[in-house]
Amino acid sequence: MDDSVIHDSAKGGWYIRPSGFLRRSPVMPVVWLAVLIGYILAGVALAPFHGDESTQIYMSRDYAYQFIQRDLSQITYSADPANPTEQHLRLLNGTISKYVIGLAWHLAGYTLDNINDQWDWGADWDYNQANGHAPSPDLLLVARWVSALFLAAGMVVIFALGDKLGGKPAAYLASLYYVLNPALLLNGRRAMMEGSFMLFSLLTVLAGVWFIQKPDWKRGVLLGVAGGLALASKHTALFTVMAIWAGCGVYALVSSSGDAHRRSRTNAQWLFAGRLLPLLLAGLVAVGVFLALNPAWWDNPVGRAGNVLALRADLLQIQVDVFGGYTDLGDKITGFWRQSLIALPQYYEVTGWDGYIGDQIAAYETSPWHGVSIGGSAVGAALFLVMIGVGLWALLRLPSDQRPVYRLTGGWALMMIGSTLLLTPLEWQRYYLPVYPALGLLSAVGLATVGRLISAKLRSHNTR
């Protein structure tokens, strides 16, 4: 369904309503998506290497323990683990990428003996390469295809979200931003968690939109599955899950309260139950999906959550101590401006890595597959910020037949902006990845809204 901006004094001014604006053949979106998917996949082999790729492939041993050796004792939690490093990583990181990477190398003919050890950040490049801490080039490429395909699937989801929020213009713009964003491209092409994190976080938002439109049991289950997969892909998806569940819950309360004035008390109670209970079901399904994919949590989920929070806090503190963190809100705003709006690619975090991957960076940047920083400069970032503001205004303020959907996604976008701005402890671009899809959608809606307002003004002027 496409939207159009018109003027209606009865609605209080400018108003978004369904229309046939920019109708296209069904073939065009398919061709567009195929081209963008091709762009993502074309640069997979060229992406400069990161040591965490080794660690993610090392973690895929869990796939072999569970599905090849069928030995759950190797991946469930133990107070005295046989391999403390593996258990530490198992608690600290998501599980979806490592399982699918394991499946990929299994299907490609690799065995557990072919899998590298964890990258040793206390040693240099040569030591890691010579002592089995780096994957073979072929194994690395197999693992990267997994993440890149997740990233490409996320692009399809953001196209669908853009279509819901601003019609085809916003869909094309949002998906283009997603594919050209250098940080998303770089980290999504690497054999890490970011590709699955993007896909299932965005799928949770889309499932929330579908739920708002028709809050029934089937859509509640779909929302729960998407939310559980998002949490299992990377724990920081919790902010997306919180925002979507809160938005859907507020919708159930507000809409049921409003209908209570027009219905009998009994009918209003049933209406409330029909909207809220499916959301509660979605929460139970999300927890079930997450636990099914995290055997290390099975014996004591509450205790494991505490372990994870403590491990995450310790890791962030170590990173801040070693690399230097933000000292005040001003630093955080400056870092957000550079990494979220200007967004030039950051290929490494550890000083000296340019000496190891400098040639890879040069080859990547001279290719046509490295993306484009939409902000790119202070002026570009300022213009980008204006369009983001217009998009947020359109979602939260313009009257519309789809107002609950717009407010849900607008609230999610604000959660992404606020949590990324306030909780990111140091200027590592990877920590800003959750905000990029939100900014892309807002700016796409903003540009589409401006275009429609100008078009409406011109049509009004020509009819006088």
At 26 the pLDDT is 76
Q: Are 382 and 376 in contact (CB under 8 A)?
A: no
Q: Is 401 left (phi over 0), alpha (psi -120 to 50) or beta?
A: alpha
Burial class (CB in 10 A: 0-12, 13-18, 19+), 456: middle
Contacts for 151 with CB less than 8 Å, ≥ 6 apart: 40, 184, 185, 188, 189, 194, 195, 198, 199
Q: Count other C-beta atoms under 10 Å from residue 139's C-beta.
A: 21
pLDDT at 401: 73
DSSP 134-190: S--HHHHHHHHHHHHHHHHHHHHHHHHHHHHHHHHHHHHHHHHHHHH-HHHHHHHHS
Report the predicted TM-score, pTM, of the whole model to 2 decimal places. 0.92
| Residue 25, pLDDT score | 61
List the domain range (segments joined by +) for residue 138: 2-462
Q: Helix (H, G, I), strand (E, B), or coil: what is residue 21?
A: coil
- The strand pairing partners of 15, in sequence order, are 6
Which are the contacts of 317, defined by CB distance < 8 A and separation ≥ 6? none
Residue 450 token pair: 């401006």
Q: How far apart are CA 287 and CA 301, in angstroms?
A: 10
Tell me how many domains the chain contains.
Answer: 1
Mean pLDDT by 10 residues, the chain (464 residues): 47 46 68 97 98 98 96 95 95 97 98 96 95 97 98 98 94 98 98 98 98 93 98 97 96 68 52 79 98 97 96 95 95 97 95 95 97 93 96 83 90 97 96 98 95 79 65
Number of helices followed by number of strands (H, E) in the chain: 18, 2
pLDDT for the residue 455:
80
Spell out a b/e string for 320-353, using b for 16 or more CB atoms within 10 Å of the CB, else e.
eeeeebbeeeeebeebbbbbbbbbebbbbbeeeb
Query: For 405, phi and psi rounded to 5 degrees?
Result: -65, -45
> What pLDDT does residue 9 have?
47
Q: String of b and e for 20-39 (b: at least 16 CB within 10 Å)? A: ebeeeeeeebeebbeebbeb
**Residue 177 to residue 439: CA distance in whole angstroms:** 9
* Residue 93 to residue 232: CA distance in whole angstroms: 9
What per-residue confidence (pLDDT) applies to 259? 52
Say what the pLDDT of residue 2 is: 43
Beta strand 2-8 with 13-19 is: antiparallel
Structure tokens at 341: 């709006």
Q: In angstroms, rounded to a whole number, what is the distance separating the alpha carbons of residues 205 and 413?
A: 10
Residue 171 tokens, joined: 């869909």
Angle of the 238-260 helix axis to the 217-233 helix axis, nearest 10 = 160
Residue 19 pairs with which residues in a beta bridge? 2
Find the largest Cα–Cα distance for the chain.
Answer: 81
Nearest to 204, CA basis, from 266, 145, 161, 251? 161
Q: Are 147 and 53 in contact (CB under 8 A)?
A: no
Neighbours of 78 (CB within 10 A): 14
Say which DSSP state 68 is in: I
7 three-class SS = strand
Give the closest residue to 313 by CA, choosing from 299, 329, 325, 327: 325
